[in-house]
Structures are given as structure tokens and as C-alpha cells.
Amino acid sequence: MSTTSRRRAEEVRVVEVGPRDGLQNEKTSIPLRTKLELIRRLSKTGVRDIEAGSFVSPKWVPQMENSAGVLNDLLGHPPSSPFPIAYNFLIPNIKGLQKFLAGKEGASEPDSEPAPITSPQDPNTPPTPPPSPKRDGDDEPAPITSTEDPNEMPSDPNEPLKSSIQKHAVEISLFTAATEAFSRANTNRTIAESLEECKAIVSLAKSKDIRVRGYVSVALGCPYEGPDVAPSKVAEITASLLEMGVDEVSVADTTGMGTALKTQELLKTLVAAGVSTKDIALHLHDTFGQALVNAVVGLEHGVRTFDSSVAGLGGCPFSKGATGNVATEDLVHCLHGLGARTGVDVEKVAKIGAWISKELGRENDSRAGKALLARMKAGS
């Protein structure tokens, strides 16, 4: 990276997707208590955004069957954290949004018995379920860079960042795809039909003052149509989502086929189409070991929000061979090495990665996480 790019990369937002995207492809059933414990632990690491669940049909994604329980617990007994966190739930259609709203409104009163995950507020004061709010600056896009001196590098990358959320929030995300074949396989709809569904979801969500995040799947390669997805099509869909009121679009390399040159071309096309890098995130999978390379390309081109999953959990039920998301430990270690400040305690995340990998009976796919754990063990 150039010196200029590094100096302007002080603050980078990491969206932790492990509890949703990371778990949705696991083969064995995951108890609700394990999901809640994972979210509770992640809430103490400094991440400000956590994908907590999905209101998709359990017939297609059975691991998300208990998402209503996750929502209910987060509303009634929000985990303690250093600062407010936005908890996001993936919504596939209007029916899913209606289920989410029913759960959100039905959880307006906390349980009479205290839950094992406690609220950070006064225990004698009943927790108030958070409205799904606008973040500060939604009317005016927030600057990508820090307001500090651009020539001054951050002294501590683990120092908590200022949160743009005033209190714990619940939000939603929706999705469409960049290819017709994937859209039909994933949702049994054309892209145009999918966008119409998205428009209806956004309209209802905004009437309830709920912040909406969008995903454009297979933006850098499709399991059905191949690795050469047209950047212009991704830009067209991204712009459509933003125009209908989506607050942020996460451009997803669902298959992990992206390369540095393809990522660069895509970002240039997005900007040329009038899409601001302030309004997009990169969602990278590491199938071919290119996720960190592509993240650095994104950073150089002004992207300041990246999705990642603790221990590299993940995959896509509709994309054979796609491996997990880029590991949060690897991404944060890389970003800190470039002088960026994330507010995330990477050592805490590494411990969580080891714990959840053991709980799931799978290998820990984070190289940085395993190295950090070995170093911590050697120093103890």
C-alpha cells in the first residue's frame, strides 16, 4: 500500500458475520445457548456490528431455525459490551420480515427471570428493546477517514472506536445476486423479481425506522456462470439497492473467486457508476486464499467496511466448494499491520475462535488466530 493510503486508513469497521453466515453451513445442529454464548463473547471484543441470525426458511437453512430465540434474547437481555452494538438479521422476503417484526414487537417486555446473559444497565431497571435506529449521519454519509490529523498514525489499533450507534440496535439485511443462475438457484427468482422483493422489504422496514443492509452475492464469481461476472451488472444492482433506500451494500465474493485485479476493476466500476465507497462493504471468502489480498485492494480504493467471521467459519449452502469467510483474526491482524484502527481486540477474538471451533468439532481456519494463541501460551 502507498504511504498516503495507509495514513488515511485509520478507522476501519469490521462486521462480524460468524453467528449467521459463519454457522449457516454447519452440518450438525447448533444449540441456541451456543449461539447466544458466541454472540456474548464477541460483544466484548470491540466489534460494533454482529450478524446474529436469519429469518430464512429452516427447510433451506436449518441452522437458522432458532433465530427468533436469538432475537428475543438480545432484545430482552442484551449482552454487556464496551459500547453499543448493532445486531443484524438476514431477511429473505416480506414473510421473513413479518416474522422478524413479530419477534421484535413480541419481545417488548423482558422475561421475569434473569437470563444468564446479563444487561449492562442497572439490573433493577427493565431493559428497553432497542428500536432499529438510524445511525448518526444517515442523512449525511459519514466520512470514510478519521477526523484526526491524517498524518498521525493511531497509537493503539485496539483502542475502542467511537460508535455511531447511540444504543444497542437491531437491524436487517436483504440480499440479491449478480447473476441470473445464482438468483434462481438461491431464491427461485430472477434478479428483477428479487429487486422488487427487496423494494417491498425496504419500504416496510423504513416505515418502522429500521436500518437496512444489502448484499449482492457472487459479485466476483458464480458457481453456475463462472468467474467472469460483469462488474457493470454488480454496479447496476448496487446502485438500485441504494436508490431504493438501503443504507449500505455489502459486495460479496461468495465463491472466493475474486483476485486483486478483478476486485480493483469492480471497485473502479462501482465508483464510475456513482456509487460511493462510503456506502459499500466488502464481504470476502477465502476459498482460493485471496481474501486478504482483496481486502488490501479494497482498502487502497477507499473501502472502510469489511465483513469477516471468527475462526474463518462459513461457506454458502448454494455454492459448492466455497469455503469460509475471511477470518476475523486474520483480517484484523492484517489491518492493524497496515496502521488501521479497528477497535477490535484480536487476542480476544483468537480465544473465541479456538472455543467455537472446539464447540463445533472442526478445525480453526484462522492462521493468525492460531499463531496468536501459540504466542500467548508461550508467554504465559
Tell me which residues are annotated as active site: 316
**Cα 338 to Cα 92: distance, rounded to the nearest angstrom:** 36
Distance separating alpha carbons of residues 72 and 67, to the nearest angstrom: 9
Can you read off the three cell numbers belonging to residue 82?
Answer: 464496551
**Cβ atoms 344, 47 nearer than 8 A:** yes
Pairing of strands 49-54, 248-253: unpaired
3-state secondary structure of 377: helix
Q: Which parts of the chain are beta strand (E)?
A: 13-16, 49-54, 86-90, 169-177, 212-217, 248-253, 280-284, 305-308
Q: What are the backbone dihedrals phi and psi of residue 54, each rounded to the nearest 5 degrees, phi first?
A: -150, 140
Residues in Cβ contact with 232 at an 8 Å cutoff, skipping those fewer than 6 apart: 269, 273
Whether 24 contacts 42, CB under 8 Å:
no
**Smallest Cα–Cα separation from 217: which of 297, 119, 128, 285?**
285
Q: Using CA atoms, how far apart are residues 294 and 185, in angstroms rounded to an integer? A: 26
219 neighbors 248 (Cβ within 8 angstroms): no
Label the pairing between strands 305-308 and 280-284.
Answer: parallel
267 residue type, one letter: L
CA distance 257 to 287: 7
Tell me the CA end-to-end span of the chain in Å, nearest whole number: 35
The helix or strand, by DSSP H or E, that contains position 375, with its residue range, turns out to be helix 367-379
DSSP assignment, residue 251? E
